A and B are shown apart, each in its own frame.
Chain A
Amino acid sequence: MERTEAELIAAVLKGDTASFEPLVQKYSPRVFATARRYARRESEAEDIAQEVWLKAFHKLKSFRGDAPFEHWLMRLAVRTCYDFLRGHQRNRETSFSDLSEPENHWLERFAVQPESASEHADAAKQLVGRILEQLSPPARLVITLLEIEDRSVKEISKLTGWSVPLVKVRAFRARAEMRKVLALLAKDKYL
């Protein structure tokens, strides 16, 4: 008979490490999807996911069980991703002069006729990656959660541990930061 999550967690807390495996199996797809939003390479996503699970195991005592395990785990995953971004702050001074051919083409199409530049194009995806890479860690996290994953301010507050006013302030700054990056992109491309 399949054991419930609460039973598995109780068993892990009693010292049965093997009971952790079904939890890892069940929730790893979500952890990987979150990690891939912030990682540049697949190896980085694996490192983040591994870190999340090791933290989850060692902090399992702090899981009170009044909310679903998945919510607790996702909070841990988002905070680990944020720590990862802060720990791997990339050189954000790079210019956009080294855009690939498809990216240039997509931007040119957008400049001439914005509707004709499809957001489903691979070039658009690559460009998004470049732009997000230029943002500071808090700006990237807020933009990802608020604008891309479409989460509410309250949800972001719970996920990140930031207060609601702080999320709002950081969202405001993040949008301004993104506009600045886009202005730099436009300047590099057309001036």
Chain B
Amino acid sequence: MNLEQLQQKVLAAARAHPPGNRVPYAFEKRILARLNEAPAFDRAALWAGALWRAAGPCVALALLLGVWSFVGASNNAATGDEEFSQQFEQTMLAAVNENGEVW
């Protein structure tokens, strides 16, 4: 069997039988009735909508906090080093100081 010829024949048969365009009785009324129905309560859609609405403010807040922590860290950089060294020293020598009081 010549498959190429069969393919052409089958496609010609499909072209020769176009589907009908008959519309069921009162189809437009049915569509209008569906459109006028009260919207069904869709929990997933509500969640999705709420999450989408929350996404913008969350991104803005994250950016704001990022900028704030970056700017704050750079302002405190100079004094922060000194404080940190003192705190580090106190922590390291805490045990020695306590022992000193015992002696």
Contacts and interface: CB of A to CB of B under 8 A. Distances in A.
Interface residues of A, number: 46
B17 to A, nearest CB: 4
A28 B23 CA distance: 7
Given A30-B21, A179-B3, A186-B1, A54 B34 contact: yes
B13 interface: yes
Contacts of B28: 21, 24-25, 28
B34 A50 contact: yes
A144 B21 CA distance: 17
B6 A110 contact: yes
Given A36-B19, A127-B10, 16 more contacts: A20-B32, A21-B32, A28-B23, A37-B19, A53-B31, A110-B1, A110-B6, A114-B9, A119-B12, A125-B17, A128-B14, A179-B4, A182-B3, A185-B6, A186-B1, A186-B3
Interface of A: 17-18, 20-21, 24-25, 28-30, 32-33, 36-37, 46, 49-50, 53-54, 57, 110-111, 114, 117, 119-121, 124-125, 127-128, 131-132, 143-144, 147-148, 150, 175, 178-179, 182-183, 185-186, 189-190
In the complex, the 6 A-B pairs of residues with the closest C-beta atoms, listed nearest first? A36-B19, A124-B13, A29-B21, A119-B13, A24-B28, A33-B21
